[in-house]
Structure 1
C-alpha cells in the first residue's frame, strides 16, 4: 500500500536540516524501490526548504510510521508536524 508522508519543518530549523541531510538521503536510498517519490517542499520563491513530501510503499501503516520515525530528520527534531495518509495512484495509467 502506498502512503503519503507530509512533514513540516519547525521555523528556523534550516541548520538542523543541513546538518542531517546526508544521513537523511542515505536513509531514503537504503529503502530502494519502497520510495515512490520524495523531495522537499519549498518557499514560494524556491530559495529555502520548508518540509518534505514522500510517497512510500509499505505493507501497512505501521511500516510507514516506523519508516517516518526512524528518518534522521525526525530523530533530529526537524519536524513541527508529520501526517501519514494512505494513497492510491490513478494517473498516469500504466502502459497496457
Structure 2
C-alpha cells in the first residue's frame, strides 16, 4: 500500500536540513524501487525548503512508521509536524515528473 508522508520542518532548521540531507538521500536510495515520488516542499519562491512530501510503498502502516523512525531527517528532529496517510493513486501523472 502507498503511504504519503507529509512532513513540515521546524522553524529555523534550514541548516539542519542541509547538514542531514546527504544521509536522508542515501536512506531514500535504499528503497528507491518502492518510491512513487519524493521531494522537498517549498515556499512560493520555489527554492526555500520547508518540509518533505514522500509517497512510498510499504506492506502496512507499522512498516511505514518503522521506516520513518529510522529516517535521518526524522531522527535529527528536523520535523515539527508529521502526518502519514494511506493513499490510493487513481490519476495518471502527466506533469511534474522527470521523463
Matched, 1:23 2:10: no
Which secondary structure does the structure 1 equivalent of 2:24 belong to? helix
Give unpaired runs (5+ residues) of structure 2: 94-99
Q: How many residues align?
A: 93
Normalised by the length of structure 2, the TM-score is 0.90
Give unpaired runs (5+ residues) of structure 1: none
Aligned residue number for residue 74 of structure 2: 74
Range moving further from structure 2, 63-72 or 21-30: 63-72
Q: Supply the distance in 2 between the matched residues of 1:28 and 1:12 (Cα, whole angstroms).
A: 24
Q: Supply the distance in 1 between the matched residues of 2:35 and 2:64 (Cα, whole angstroms).
A: 11
* RMSD, aligned CA: 1.1
1:1-96 correspondence to structure 2 within 5 Å: 1-92=1-92
**Which 4+ runs in 1 deviate beyond 2 A?**
none
